[in-house]
Amino acid sequence: MSHIEIKNLTKKFEVKGDVITALHKVSLSVETGDIFGIIGMSGAGKSTLVRTINYLEKPTEGQVLIDGVDLAGLSSAELRKKRSEIGMIFQNFNLLEQRNVLGNVCFPLEIAGIKRKEAKEKARQLLKTVGLEEKEKAYPSQLSGGQKQRVAIARALATNPRVLLCDEATSALDPMTTKSILNLLREINERLNITIVIITHQMSVVTEICKKVAIIDGGELVEEGDVEKIFENPGSDAAKELIFEKKESFAPIRTLNTSNRIRIVFSENSAYEPVISNAIMTFKAPLNILKADTKNVGGKARGEMILGLPEDESVKLAFIEFFKEQGLAVSEVTEDV
């Protein structure tokens, strides 16, 4: 397992004479054995960030340290060796179409100079790990998206990495297949003690599998912490947008004729209590349920609601205090969701 530390990292690109800052002074730490999420909208800089972890992109400024070793200080040969300890899987799988499944998993072993017989034995073990041993002779064109990603995971594990980077590895998959891939990654993390970093724009992926999360917006780190705490009470605008999963195809809440809106998140203790009906009976005032959902957060079902409160400020504050007393996380909602 490996500890990853990123210090004051800045990455700039020159595009047609203009300097574009993709990342600006990003600092974060990924603990050994963690499943760590890096999330942001398209163009936020998260994929650039993950590519600096294995130095596919060299930072303009700042440091990337793995187990205390600064990658900037390594020779080319030393960097290649360090990269062999960092597996990577991608959204589009990156499989070799002319090779069958077994050949794809053998490929990094062949590059590493492993004898063919030994490489095949190890590849078969890895295919068993990802549940695809019966597909070793199939070609990528004969596989489903989920099967392709399982082959890509097996290939990434071939060099016994201590870190596994997943760059939007589930965004091309349907929800059920995504869940199966995330379950596989969780099993790999637990069984092989591999530190996993997941890059995604889907908060549902983060809440399903990650322990901690960093939120990137406009190339900057805007929020970081335990997934459960950020889900309960997001502090940054980017976190709120990702958690609320705003979709343009839905009518915005402002059309529902209420300006006082709060988001409540149920704890395990409060999930079985009729808190909404109790609140209405206590204050003899109406509430509008504008949105309700249940999400898997760290293996627990967490319910959330967005409520429209009465316009009277004192009644609104009374409702908020009541919900807090019931053990709910409460935050005001000012943006459309």
Instruction: Indicate whether 38 belongs to any domain.
Output: yes
The span from the CA of 213 to the CA of 235, in Å, is 13
Instruction: Indicate whether 235 belongs to any domain.
Output: no
The span from the CA of 234 to the CA of 240, in Å, is 6
Cross-strand bridge partners of residue 20? 13
Q: Which of 187, 248, 219 is nearest to 12 (CA)?
A: 219
Residue 25 sits in the same domain as residue 143: yes
Residue 46 sits in the same domain as residue 120: yes
Residue 142 sits in the same domain as residue 274: no
From 199, 230, 261, the end of a domain falls on: 230
Residue 267's CB is within 10 A of a number of other CB atoms, namely: 15
Mean pLDDT of the chain: 86
Inform me whether the pLDDT recorded for 317 exceeds 90: no
From 230, 259, 283, the end of a domain falls on: 230
Contact 46, 104 (CB under 8 A): no
Contact 217, 41 (CB under 8 A): yes
Instruction: Indicate whether 90 belongs to any domain.
Output: yes
The span from the CA of 150 to the CA of 140, in Å, is 11
The pLDDT confidence band at residue 268, using thresholds 50, 70 and 90, is: low
Return the structure tokens found at 199.
Answer: 């890059």
Q: What is the CATH number of the domain that holds 131?
A: 3.40.50.300
The pLDDT confidence band at residue 336, using thresholds 50, 70 and 90, is: low
Inform me whether the pLDDT recorded for 125 exceeds 70: yes
Q: What is the CATH number of the domain that holds 277?
A: 3.30.70.260
The pLDDT confidence band at residue 308, using thresholds 50, 70 and 90, is: confident
Cross-strand bridge partners of residue 165? 88, 197
Inform me whether the pLDDT recorded for 172 exceeds 50: yes
Q: Which domain holds residue 306?
A: 246-332
Residue 299 sits in the same domain as residue 160: no
The span from the CA of 62 to the CA of 268, in Å, is 42
Lowest mean pLDDT among 76-90, 142-156, 252-266: 252-266
Residue 88's CB is within 10 A of a number of other CB atoms, namely: 22
Contact 303, 266 (CB under 8 A): yes
List, in sequence order, the alpha helices (H) in 23-133: 46-53, 76-83, 101-111, 116-129
Whether this prediction's pTM lies above 0.85 is answered by no
Q: What average pLDDT does the segment 168-194 reach?
A: 90
238 compared with 297, residue with greater pLDDT: 238
Task: For 18-66, write each residue's pLDDT tens digit.
Answer: 888 999 999 999 999 999 999 988 888 888 999 999 999 999 999 999 9
So what's the pLDDT on residue 1?
Answer: 54
Total number of domains constituting the chain: 2
